[in-house]
């Protein structure tokens, strides 16, 4: 590994023009040509001994017989492979630094309805998680408020706020942004028959009927809120709309009502999924399901309503004790075979680098390999309306690419180069630095 | 991610736990436990022996639960059951050096800072579905630990994952028992304080050291009083009065005498060195440092002490003491001469420990053999059971995992798991049995629903029966339960990552 690191540095030194690009900086640079690589474009068959030309942050040419522009920096990728960068569609990237230290966590606002809060506002560009995640080949993510992860306040939102799509490079959030308002998070309520009372450190049981009543109340509140937002949006568009009393929360809902912004609905249980899909269908809202532990139970509904699913890590525990032990591992193929569009998400930040591993495990349990690869690249891009820019290696798209020594989904593969917005971006990070530091610690005297 | 919630659960696990309610039917899921087959021949497999390289196309002969021969082509005895493993990979069964499966209720006796009197072996739950799930991930042996709420936690036990056997059959025969220690944020309760609740000593790393020193000071005196007494008895003294038995100190005396292993939860470099100093002061050995995420910073000191390190593959940043964790930890410590294993601390994580070990090839450049050792031979040595398990060698227990691909890949799926030469997991059989299992489940639910409907009908017809009902209030309960069983998706709280309550009993892990 140290050797890799040194040779990596050597390459950087040799291609001195790229020296500036090795940090987060995004500045205009010379053209780059990645040559002699096997290119998995995900928009056709892989190209053997191919070249990718990057110009002005975009993919200018892809193919076997592509001419290398004069003055381009050439990266010889003989024996290596090029893929679109991986896309993690549910993370708390930049919103949470150390899970248990609440001062470093900005994932979940208090209160039931927070459509106006936006992830991009609290994304810390210098978070140590960003370079660590990038080194695993993930080039862009959705940072989603109220998306789970580790939140010691255990707040429960209904409308959690706006999720932002970001590149994993940039000096400021503005430089990182792909779409500040990529989706509106809805944390679908659950039927909780058991709750933990922190004041007495005991578990409280509740009758199902009571829990169901609470659930119905919350769903009704959500329906009322959507109704309010609809009226507000209509009033805004009405002839005298500019004169109405403004409300930042309801205003933030307007794009959702107009069908321009999808709802990213967190739901795992069959009933939640069923109710959420029917709710969004009735309200004519665009929905992406996130979580989906029991999506297989509602696959017919999901397919018929065209709802895509971002699945939680496949390597988790099956939800019920009598579920098949590989229930979560076989679900991706079951959904794919049913005609449902799936993507994988880490639903985390420090475990984001397991994204490829999750997809690979689904492939090991029946999902076609190409579908596994697309489920961490093209499909999440499609779900958030970003596929004209990202998700494949095609001319005209943003040059978010990775160069690896093998299958980017497998656990032993090394990511050699990461390009974000066409810039060669460092795979160095806090963890690599600590490794180098302690690898060179002089032998301790005893 | 569930493993993240375990941290939160420590609060819950302080004193309370939701007992896992597992019906007996789970015992029958998937695999039928075959009676021990005296002779098995595994044929044509790629054999990853771990101890002496890889045999490309080889056979393994199993007799009476032990490996009888390993090699190129072996002759099948007439009575042998042959498993054709062409194109498949056989490894020693995976050994998980840090697990909390098969425990009934909470893993933490969190009321005191020294809880050495309690023993996880007393609360083994052989019906825990996690045993089966981990078995299906190739795990054959697990070190079942008390939680990390206390500086000195409870006694621990090594088990084999003999799914379907009663709890008494789970412990690994002859394996030295252990005791859990814990340093840092968990025993000082950094992340688990409740507003208004009084502090429990210790609340600093300084106090953690003194808690351990104080306990061993007591234990040393206690041991001396017994040694004196035994000497007097040996000298023929008739009226010697034995010291009063102390159940808290007995296990610590065993630690001092080298009869019980210390497995210590830790994160930061300073606390690792602290425990090594305390161990030196009192003359005991730290068998393993668990988690030991900053072990790479003091690898030389750990190696010099001859302690093992059992760590995670790539967990980090879930709490302050995990912020300097690096995925190179296992490889770096290995290179510095520490005996390293990779563990799960989590039932789901244990199902893919082979993949977690594989990550050290990428992060730190370990060889294929070195990586596989992290979850086989190395944990066996750390648990003192390497004469029995951990590699594919003649004379060792026939504890094996058979994969369809090289196990150091995310594409490898376990096909069969054997313990003591007995097939405890067979994927083919599991798949074949699923339809019948689902039908049985459906039939039972329908039967329950029918009965409930009938009872409802009967109840509606005879409202005067109310009196009888009042007399027997107990009878109402099963009826309510049935209602819940009809809706399996509703009977448990949500398992979203946020609420700690759903798996409160598994806390104390991290």
Question: Given CB atoms, is B14 within the 8 Å cutoff of chain A?
Answer: yes
Are A149 and B319 within 8 A, CB to CB? no
For residue A440, say if its preceding peptide bond is cis, omega within 30 degrees of 0. Answer: no
Q: Which of A398-407, B55-64, B453-462 has the lowest mean pLDDT?
A: B453-462
Indicate if the pLDDT at residue B297 is higher than 80: yes
Mean pLDDT of all residues in B7-34: 34
CA proximity to A410, closest of A365, A375, A361? A361
Full-model pTM: 0.89
Please indicate if any CB of chain B lies within 8 Å of the CB of A174: no
Give the model's pLDDT for residue B268.
Answer: 98
Does pLDDT of A385 surpass 90?
A: yes
The answer for B 471-490 residues in CB contact with A (under 8 A) is: 483-484, 487-490
List of chain B residues whose C-beta atoms are within 8 Å of the C-beta of residue A324: 30, 430, 434
Q: What is the pLDDT of residue B198?
A: 83
Report the pLDDT value the prediction gives residue B28, as an integer from 0 to 100: 35
Of the partner residues B136, B325, B504, the one whose CB lies closest to the CB of residue A325: B136
Paired with A263 in beta bridges are A184, A287
Residue B8's pLDDT is 34
pLDDT reading at B477 higher than 50: no
Nearest CB neighbour to A322, from listed B196, B411, B441: B441
Task: Write down all domains in chain A, each with its CATH number in brackets.
Answer: 86-390 (3.20.20.140)
pLDDT digits (tens, 9 = 90+) for B109-127: 999 999 999 999 999 999 9
- A90 touching chain B per CB within 8 A: no
Contacts of A334 in chain B (CB under 8 A): none
Render pLDDT for B183-242 as a digit per residue (tens, 0 to 9): 999 999 888 776 777 889 999 999 999 999 999 999 999 999 999 999 999 999 999 999
Is the pLDDT at B33 greater than 70? The verdict is no
B30 touches chain A (CB under 8 A): yes
What ipTM was predicted for this assembly?
0.92
pLDDT at B464: 52
Mean pLDDT of A299-309: 98
pLDDT bin (cut points 50, 70, 90) of residue A192 is confident
Band the pLDDT of A29: cuts 50, 70, 90.
Answer: low
CB A325 to CB B16 under 8 A? no
The pLDDT score that the predictor gives to residue A199 is 57
Position B372 pLDDT exceeds 90 = yes
The three-class DSSP label of residue B140 is strand
Selected residues 215-234 of chain B with any CB under 8 Å from a CB in chain A = none
Residue A77 has pLDDT above 90, yes or no: yes
Confidence of residue B483 (pLDDT cuts 50, 70, 90): very low
Convert the pLDDT of each residue in A196-226 to its tens digit: 665 555 778 899 999 999 999 999 999 999 9
State both tokens at A16: 């001195």
For B317-364, how does the pLDDT look when each residue is reduced to its tens digit (9 = 90+)?
Answer: 999 999 999 999 999 999 999 999 999 999 999 999 999 999 999 999
pLDDT band at B487 (very low <50, low <70, confident <90, very high): very low
Q: What percent of chain A has pLDDT over 90?
A: 83
pLDDT over threshold 90, residue B10: no
Q: What is the mean pLDDT of residues B159-177?
A: 97
Whole-number Å distance between alpha carbons of A172 and A192? 40
pLDDT for position B35: 59
3-state per-residue secondary structure call for chain A: CHHHHHHHHHHHHHCHHHHHHHCCCCCCCCCEEEEEEEECCCCCCCEEEEEEEEECCEEEEEECCCCCCCCCEEEECCCCEEEECEEEEEECCCCECCCCCHHHECCCCCCCECCCCEHHHHCCCCCCHHHHHHCCCEEEEEECCCCCCCCCCCCCCCEEEEEEEEECCCCCHHHHEEEEEEEEEEECCCCCCEEEECCCCEEEECCHHHHHHHHHHHHHHHHHHHHHHHHHHHHHHCCCHHHCCCCHHHHHHHHHHCCCCCEEEEECCHHHHHHHHHHHHHCCCCEEEEECCCHHHHHHHHHHCCCCEEECCCCCCCCCCCCCCCHHHHHHHHHHHCCCCEEECCCCCCCHHHHHHHHHHHHHCCCCHHHHHHCCCHHHHHHCCCCCCCCCCCCCCECCEEEECCCCCCCCCCEEEEEECCEEECCCCHHHHHHHHHHCCCCCCC
pLDDT over 90 (residue B24): no
Query: What residues of chain B lie within 8 A of the CB of A293, using their CB?
Result: 495
Average model confidence (pLDDT) for chain A? 91
Judged by CB atoms closer than 8 Å, whether chains meet at A349 and B314 is answered as: no
Please give the pLDDT value at position A20.
36
Dist CA B480 CA A350 (whole Å): 42
Q: Which of residues 191-220 of A touch B (CB under 8 A)?
A: 191-196, 198-199, 201-203, 208, 212
What residues of chain A lie within 8 A of the CB of B11, using their CB?
198, 201
Maximum CA extent, chain B: 84
Mean predicted confidence (pLDDT) in B483-488: 36
Q: Which of B362, B367, B445, B480 to mutate to test the interface with A (most CBs of A within 10 A)?
A: B362
Q: According to the model, what pLDDT value does residue A346 have?
A: 96
Residue numbers of B between 105 and 164 with CB closer than 8 Å to A: 129-130, 132-133, 136
User: A320 and B348 in contact by Cβ < 8 A?
Assistant: no
Question: What is the reported pLDDT for B463?
Answer: 53
Residues 35-74 of B with CB under 8 A from A: none
Residue B190's pLDDT is 86
Residue B461 has pLDDT above 80, yes or no: no
pLDDT at A198: 57
Q: Which residue of A100, A203, A210, A345 is the best one to mutate when testing the B interface, meaning the one whose CB has the most B CBs within 10 A?
A: A100
Cα distances (angstroms) measured from residue B36 to each of A171, B166, B189, B414: 64, 16, 47, 20
């Amino acid at each position: 590994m140290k050797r890799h690191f040194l040779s990596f540095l050597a390459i950087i030194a040799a291609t001195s023009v790229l020296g500036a690009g090795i940090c987060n900086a995004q500045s205009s640079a010379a053209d780059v040509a990645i040559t002699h690589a096997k290119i998995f474009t995900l928009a056709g068959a892989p190209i053997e001994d191919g070249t990718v030309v990057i110009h002005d942050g975009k993919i200018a040419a892809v193919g076997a017989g592509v001419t290398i522009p004069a003055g381009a920096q050439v990266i010889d990728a003989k024996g290596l492979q090029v893929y679109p960068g991986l896309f993690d569609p549910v993370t708390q990237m930049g919103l949470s630094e150390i899970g248990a230290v609440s001062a470093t966590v900005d994932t979940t606002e208090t209160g039931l309805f927070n459509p106006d809060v936006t992830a991009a506002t609290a994304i810390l560009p210098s978070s140590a998680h960003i370079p660590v995640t990038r080194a695993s080949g993930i080039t862009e993510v959705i940072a989603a408020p109220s998306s789970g992860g580790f939140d010691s306040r255990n707040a429960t939102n209904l409308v959690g706020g706006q999720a932002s799509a970001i590149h994993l490079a940039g000096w400021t959030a503005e430089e990182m942004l792909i779409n500040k308002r990529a989706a509106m998070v809805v944390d679908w309520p659950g039927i909780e028959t058991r709750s933990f009372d922190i004041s007495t450190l005991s578990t409280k049981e509740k009758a199902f009927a009571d829990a169901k009543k609470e659930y119905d109340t919350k769903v009704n509140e959500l329906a009322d809120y959507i109704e309010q937002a609809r009226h507000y949006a209509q009033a805004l568009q009405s002839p005298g709309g500019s004169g109405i009393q403004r409300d930042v929360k309801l205003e933030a809902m307007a794009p959702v009502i107009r069908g321009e912004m999808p709802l990213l609905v967190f739901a795992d249980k069959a009933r939640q999924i069923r109710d959420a899909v029917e709710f969004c269908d009735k309200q004519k809202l665009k929905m992406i399901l996130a979580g989906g532990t029991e999506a297989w139970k509602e696959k017919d509904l999901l397919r018929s309503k065209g709802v895509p699913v971002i699945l939680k890590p496949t390597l988790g525990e099956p939800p019920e004790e009598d579920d098949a032990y590989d229930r979560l591992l076989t679900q991706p193929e079951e959904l794919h075979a049913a005609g449902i569009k799936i993507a994988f998400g880490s639903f985390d930040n420090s475990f984001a680098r397991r994204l490829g591993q999750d997809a690979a495990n689904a492939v090991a349990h029946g999902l076609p390999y190409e579908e596994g690869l697309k489920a961490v690249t093209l499909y999440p891009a499609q779900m958030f309306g970003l596929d004209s820019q990202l998700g494949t290696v095609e001319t005209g798209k943003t040059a978010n690419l990775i160069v690896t020594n093998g299958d980017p989904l497998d656990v032993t593969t090394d990511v050699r180069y990461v390009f974000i917005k066409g810039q060669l971006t460092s795979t160095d990070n806090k963890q690599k630095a600590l490794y180098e530091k302690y690898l060179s610690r002089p032998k301790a005297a005893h | 991610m569930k493993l993240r919630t375990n941290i939160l659960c420590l609060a819950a696990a302080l004193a309370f736990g939701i007992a896992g309610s597992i019906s007996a039917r789970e015992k029958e899921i998937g695999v039928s436990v075959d009676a021990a087959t005296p002779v098995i021949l595994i044929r044509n497999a790629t054999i990853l022996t771990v101890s002496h390289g890889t045999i490309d196309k080889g056979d393994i002969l199993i007799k009476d639960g032990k490996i009888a021969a390993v090699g190129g082509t072996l002759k099948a005895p007439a009575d042998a059951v042959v498993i054709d493993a062409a194109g498949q990979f056989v490894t020693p069964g995976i050994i998980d050096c840090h697990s909390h499966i098969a425990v009934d209720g909470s893993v933490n006796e969190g009321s005191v800072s020294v809880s050495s009197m309690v023993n996880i072996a007393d609360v083994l739950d052989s019906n825990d579905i996690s045993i089966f799930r981990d078995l299906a991930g190739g795990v054959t042996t697990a070190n079942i630990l008390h939680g990390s709420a206390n500086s000195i936690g409870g006694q621990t036990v090594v088990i084999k994952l003999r799914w379907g056997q009663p709890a008494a059959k789970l412990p690994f025969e002859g394996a030295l028992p252990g005791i859990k220690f814990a340093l840092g944020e968990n025993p000082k309760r950094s992340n688990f304080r409740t507003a208004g609740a009084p502090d429990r000593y210790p609340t600093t790393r300084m106090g953690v050291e003194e808690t351990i020193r104080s306990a061993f000071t007591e234990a040393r005196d206690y041991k001396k009083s017994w040694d004196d007494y035994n000497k007097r008895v040996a000298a023929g003294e008739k009226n010697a009065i034995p010291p009063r038995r102390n159940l808290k100190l007995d296990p610590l005396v065993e630690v001092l005498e080298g009869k019980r292993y210390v497995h210590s939860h830790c994160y930061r470099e300073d606390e690792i060195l602290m425990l090594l100093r305390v161990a030196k002061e009192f003359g005991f050995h730290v068998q393993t440092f668990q988690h030991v995420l900053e072990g790479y910073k003091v690898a030389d000191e750990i190696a010099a002490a001859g302690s093992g390190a059992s760590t995670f593959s790539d967990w980090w940043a879930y709490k302050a003491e995990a912020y300097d964790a690096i995925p190179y930890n296992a490889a770096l410590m290995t290179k510095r001469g520490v005996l390293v294993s990779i563990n799960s601390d989590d039932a789901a994580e244990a199902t893919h420990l082979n993949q977690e070990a594989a990550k050290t090839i990428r992060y730190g450049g370990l060889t294929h053999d070195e990586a596989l050792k992290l979850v086989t031979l190395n944990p066996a040595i750390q648990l003192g059971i390497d004469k029995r398990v951990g590699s594919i060698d003649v004379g060792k227990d026939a504890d094996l995992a058979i994969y369809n691909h090289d196990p150091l890949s995310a594409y490898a799926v376990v096909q069969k798991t054997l313990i003591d030469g007995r097939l405890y997991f067979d994927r083919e059989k599991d798949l074949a049995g699923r339809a019948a299992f689902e039908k049985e489940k459906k039939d039972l639910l329908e039967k329950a629903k029918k009965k409930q409907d009938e009872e409802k009908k009967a109840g509606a017809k005879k409202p005067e029966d109310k009196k009888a009902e009042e007399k027997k209030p107990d009878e109402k309960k099963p009826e309510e339960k049935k209602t819940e069983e009809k809706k399996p998706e509703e009977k448990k709280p949500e398992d979203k990552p946020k609420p700690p309550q759903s798996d409160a009993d598994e806390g104390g892990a991290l």
